Amino acid sequence: MSTQWRVHAVKYAERNARTRGDSFIFDDHPSAEHGMDYFVWLLDNGAQKIVVDTGYDAGEADRRDRPILRDPVTALAALDVHPEDIDTVIITHLHYDHAGGLDRYPNATFHVQAAEMAYATGPCMCHGVLQMPFTADHVCEMVRHVYSGRVVFHDGSGAVAPGVRVHCVGGHSRGLQVVEVETAQGPLCLASDATHYYENYLLAKPFPIVADLEPMLEGFGTIQRLALGPDRVIPGHDPLVTQLYPQHDSVPFAWRLDVGPCRSVRDSIR
């Protein structure tokens, strides 16, 4: 099995009624508009396909008044990904927009950090402000998968497949993990919400939804070390991803990440 993976970002939602104050602590222009894109990610080495995060569906969109453009499963189907054929799903953390639809993958094993499960089911969830990004049904679905023997817990760093490793960084959520992926162009880091935007990690500007601030700040350095530089770090929600990476030939809502950005990431945020 090849240890070099092709990586795609697949966009399923966007939310543009936001401001920079929603994205950065202590921003100089907090009332300026600042949009957010929502992605799931696909790893493909020719022999295996791995889904990273499962997004959220129309029911969750209605409950939170955050409409989706397309169901994440339908979006992945455009890349010839069918949920019953997927045997490995990495969940970076259990927030609603990353861990909805866990029941859509009937034959998958789910990879999650033990710290994230403990956080999402522990006393911290007695506080509304910490509970807000989670949906109880999603967490309970993961608990059911634990009881059916379909969850692999990681404690820090661990291998998922040849050329794919996860690393716990915390910060945004207690057990948030990032994904290190080997590609033909070198290592890539799917940072998920370790950095929502390029600006978060490049300018050390924390995102306001945070469980632990120090690990979030330390994580900005970790993701760059894993990727051997800023141009190989993929943030979790930045619309710039759709401008910096080549669009899929036949799927207009998918972008090829492993080939690298078309220009310097640092130059793009200046």
Q: What is the pLDDT of residues 96-123, one digit of tens each?
A: 999 999 999 999 999 999 999 999 999 9
The predicted pLDDT at position 3 comes to: 82
The 10s digit of each residue's pLDDT in 166-204 is 999 999 999 999 999 999 999 999 999 999 999 999 999
The predicted pLDDT at position 269 comes to: 85
The count of other CB atoms within 10 Å of the CB of residue 249 is 8
The predicted pLDDT at position 224 comes to: 97
CB of 91 within 8 A of CB of 99?
yes
Sites in the chain below the pLDDT cut of 70? 1-2
The predicted pLDDT at position 1 comes to: 58
Q: Which long-range contacts (CB under 8 A, 24 or more apart) does 209-216 make?
A: 209/132, 209/133, 209/172, 210/171, 210/172, 211/119, 211/124, 211/130, 211/170, 211/171, 211/172, 211/173, 211/174, 212/170, 212/171, 212/174, 213/171, 215/169, 215/170, 215/171, 216/169, 216/170, 216/171, 216/172
